[in-house]
Amino acid sequence: MSEATDTRTPDTRPTGGLSAQYQPGEVEQRRYEKWVSEGYFEADASSDKPPFTIVIPPPNVTGSLHMGHAFEHTLMDSLSRRRRMQGYEALWLPGMDHAGIATQNVVERQLAAQGLSRHDLGREKFIERVWQWKAESGGAILGQMKRLGDSVAWSRERFTMDEGLSRAVQTIFKRLYEDDLIYRANRIINWCPRCLTALSDIEVEHSDDDGELVSIRYGEGDNAIVVATTRAETMLGDTAVAVHPDDERYKHLIGTEVELPLTGRRIPIVADEHVDPSFGTGAVKVTPAHDPNDFEIGQRHNLPSITMMDERAVVTVPGPFEGLDRYEARPAVVAALREDGRIVAEKRPYVHSVGHCARCKTTVEPRLSLQWFVNTKPLAQAAGDAVRDGRVAIEPAELAKRYFAWVDNMHDWCISRQLWWGHRIPIWYGPDGEVVCVGPDEEPPTGEGWHQDEDVLDTWFSSGLWPFSTLGWPEKTVDLAKFYPTSVLVTGYDILFFWVARMMMFGLYAMDGKQPFDVVALHGMVRDQHGKKMSKSFGNVVDPLDWIERFGADATRFTLARGANPGSDVPVSEEWCQGSRNFCNKLWNATRFAMMNGATVTGDLPPASELSTIDKWILSRLQHVTAEVDEHFENYEFAKVCDALYHFAWDDVCDWYVELSKPVFAAGDAETAKTQRVLGHVLDQLLRLLHPVIPFVTEELWIALTGGETVMRATWPVADQAWIDDAAEEELAALQKVVTEVRRFRSDQGLKPSQRVSAALTGLGNVGIDTHEPLIRSLARLNAPGEDFTATATLAVTGAITVDLDTRGTIDVAAERARLEKDRAAAEKEAAQCRAKLGNEAFVGKAPEQVVTKIKDRLTTAETDLARIAAALKALPTS
């Protein structure tokens, strides 16, 4: 195995200028600025390297880096950095979303503080004010991404309202319009009475709220029918009562009319198969203008639609309730019905799912409104086919079912928003009813009576174009030719439907059937250490910038990546981040040790035939880990990547190889130079493997160790089967077993690490490690048995090896027995508690998977402790 960097001159200083301790704050900004200034993150479309492309899920221009961003960006950055090292032309393209509702709300709040509204400024001046805000205060998250270490191509940063993306929006709108895939119609949509705009499904958050279920009797006597509702005020807009056609209770009423209470209007009783006869009374009130299901019933039965509330959720029906807000009208209507003897039953509180505006938290109203829609059926069919025929893979594969459930049953998409900030719909209306769609290279019609549609497009419309609009579409750019389709989309499973599906639809449509990405790698949500959703109301929100400040960006990234299993939620805790910081410190100290002892990367590795078993062992372990890491990266199993590297670095390299090499370095003989070269190589390769996840500390250490320019441009390690040595691994495993068992015994007996004990080792030759006896004695602090040696304790390490120890004078047997008994009682209590929880089917069925797994791990630990304590008690001297 030869080095590609043989000509590098190693730093002649003992530690390459490394400080005694790793201080992230002294490294991160300096290294990041160097990376950017040297153009390491940029991508060249004219390169002949194979492309690798990730487009960032554009954060809102109003946003700040939260733990979900930090998690997702860590994964994208890890993939991008690895591909660069593998020789790909890697482009990670950054940008932001204009976030129509959120941004307009921010600026309107600023105006309100001055006693103004957007209408005081007018549309043009208001838009200027928003752009001013964006220039002065927007995009704070971009600087925060730099603190995390994002290796994005900053020169290519895009914004969904920039000139190029605006051109793309106009282009695709016109094409869809001319292909009859965009239309305008009166339909039920989600409406926010506070923001005064239609909302997409993703902009509606549902929660279980306390309400009231009221059962109301319509009609009299045998012709009476009872309906139940949580929104009694909407009865003012009822235009029918619906029952199932096969419901024997109501067959005699189908086709008749019933008087609607409080209004004097008569409404029909219709039969509709979509009514569930087993739910409630089996009869439902039909308010087509204020409920999506009722709207569909109304369409099937040609029912009129009565809008009984205006855009601010104020009742407009003439009469005693006119002018009341919906929350004022609700109790007033119920009181009037009660007085009229129409209330059959009232259930309070009644918990039910209620939609809220994601921006202002106002309860959303379903509302019949004239809006623009995308006819999604043919587009969704293509989006489903792209996954079915293998052009796009969803990872993990089991989540593809959820994707199909959505795209195969997709409703038409409401794309118009009653805002001023956003892409204005490119439709002009003429004085005689003319409708003209204007493309980006066309002049809009002028003259008296012509005006543009007042609405703007849903933010998700422009972000749906992101994979190709950011590369220059609709122009046929070299970037588009090189980097589209993109390689992988890394995003949360929570927006699989709302964003991923839209990008699929638009990408396939605009790019002649070419998918927008080859793989959709779905991840879960970041949760607290107990598996609970992070929420300000729960008081468990973690600010990643706080962790970066206290523990470093690498520790934050490693904590997040180490919990990243495809499609699964990610529990995190400060304690785990502290552990990740300790891991970075461990790497730092190991590299300093190596450099102080002459570790080098210069020249070829000595041939295996000239290496010690210990050197052959660590090189063999390196090959296994390299192959394992590659496999896990290809499967997007970041947690397994981190776990493999953590244990190799901490256990194999730091705890064993470094310790095993100390006598070699101390000897200063011919073997020393070989071990110096092997240790240098192992650390060189390890730092490369770790770089994608923890880039800052690995950059600092690798440059100090190798004298190279940057680890970012070092070749990615590839496993070499020629260095696999099963015999060396078996031999070292036997050595480790002996040392570990003796160390465990010493710890259990309360012996100080420096305290030496006389011992007789039997059977080492049976497993071929008798030549390592001096090393074993050094590592386990064991003296050779003297003339007065008496075995007071015996350890059966394996069937072939025993260790007899003389513990006289080293242990207070009574005190040690008491301590072990106390530990056993604690372990038994812990095991009993864990078994009780795992035996509770209700708990196991409802608890998050991570919580159940953690309890299983606790039980395993407790049972292991019990076995260890029992062995320790047995090994205690009898006198």
578 and 719 inside one domain = yes
Residue 137 inside a domain? The answer is no
Residue matched to tokens 């009469």: 319
Q: Of the segments 225-229, 532-536, 807-811, 842-846, which one has the largest average pLDDT value? A: 225-229
Amino acid at the residue 555:
A
791 and 645 inside one domain = no
Token reading at 25: 């704050």
782 and 715 inside one domain = no
**Residues 6 or more apart in contact with residue 256 via CB below 8 angstroms:** 223, 268, 269
296 and 352 inside one domain = yes
The Cα 144–Cα 524 span in angstroms is 22
The Cα 399–Cα 423 span in angstroms is 33
Q: Are 485 and 516 in contact (CB under 8 A)?
A: yes
Mean pLDDT for all residues in the chain? 92
pLDDT at 4 over 70: no
pLDDT at 378 over 70: yes
The Cα 656–Cα 754 span in angstroms is 18
Token reading at 585: 């410190």
pLDDT of residue 319: 93
C-alpha distances (whole Å) from 51 to each of 482, 486, 507, 561 are 7, 9, 18, 24
The Cα 630–Cα 841 span in angstroms is 39
837 is in an annotated binding site: no
Q: Are 383 and 501 in contact (CB under 8 A)?
A: yes
C-alpha distances (whole Å) from 380 to each of 23, 384, 464, 473 are 51, 6, 13, 21
643 and 785 inside one domain = no
Question: What is the average per-residue pLDDT within 498-525?
Answer: 94
12 confidence band (pLDDT: 50, 70, 90):
very low
The Cα 868–Cα 706 span in angstroms is 44
The Cα 444–Cα 422 span in angstroms is 18
pLDDT of residue 879: 57
| Residue of 542, 573, 545 lying closest to 559 (CA atoms) | 573
Based on C-alpha coordinates, what's the Rg of the chain? 35
CATH of the domain at 597: 1.10.730.10
Residue 213 inside a domain? The answer is yes
Question: What is the average per-residue pLDDT within 334-351?
Answer: 92
Domain boundary pick from 724, 740, 764: 724
C-alpha distances (whole Å) from 728 to each of 19, 451, 682, 723, 758 are 35, 81, 16, 11, 28
| Residue of 775, 748, 562, 739 lying closest to 649 (CA atoms) | 562
How many distinct structural domains can be found in the chain? 3
pLDDT at 807 over 60: yes
Domain boundary pick from 333, 365, 397: 365
Domain boundary pick from 724, 745, 772: 724
576 and 713 inside one domain = yes
653 and 601 inside one domain = yes
pLDDT at 2 over 70: no
CATH of the domain at 772: 1.10.287.380
Residue 821 inside a domain? The answer is yes
Q: Quickly count: other Cβ atoms within 10 Å of residue 281's Cβ.
A: 18
DSSP letters spanning 649-697: IIIIIIIIIHHHHHHHHHHTSHHHHHHHHHHHHHHHHHHHHHTTTSHHH
Residue 459 inside a domain? The answer is no
How do residues 534-569 score in pLDDT, each as one tens digit?
776 677 788 999 999 999 999 999 999 998 888 788
For residue 132, report the phi and psi dihedrals to the nearest 5 degrees: -65, -45
Quick one: 537 exposed, middle or buried, by C-beta within 10 A (0-12, 13-18, 19+)? exposed
Residue 232 inside a domain? The answer is yes
Question: What is the average per-residue pLDDT within 713-724?
Answer: 97
Calculate ∠ Cα 466-469-475, nearest 5°.
165
Residue 258 inside a domain? The answer is yes
Residue 444 inside a domain? The answer is no
810 and 855 inside one domain = yes
For residue 248, report the phi and psi dihedrals to the nearest 5 degrees: -60, -25
Question: What is the average per-residue pLDDT within 757-763?
Answer: 93
360 and 225 inside one domain = yes
Token reading at 391: 């052009």
217 and 278 inside one domain = yes
761 and 717 inside one domain = no
How do residues 629-656 score in pLDDT, each as one tens digit?
999 999 999 999 999 999 999 999 999 9
CATH of the domain at 238: 3.90.740.10
Residue 626 inside a domain? The answer is yes
Question: What is the average per-residue pLDDT within 248-276?
Answer: 94
641 and 761 inside one domain = no
Range of the domain at 686: 567-724
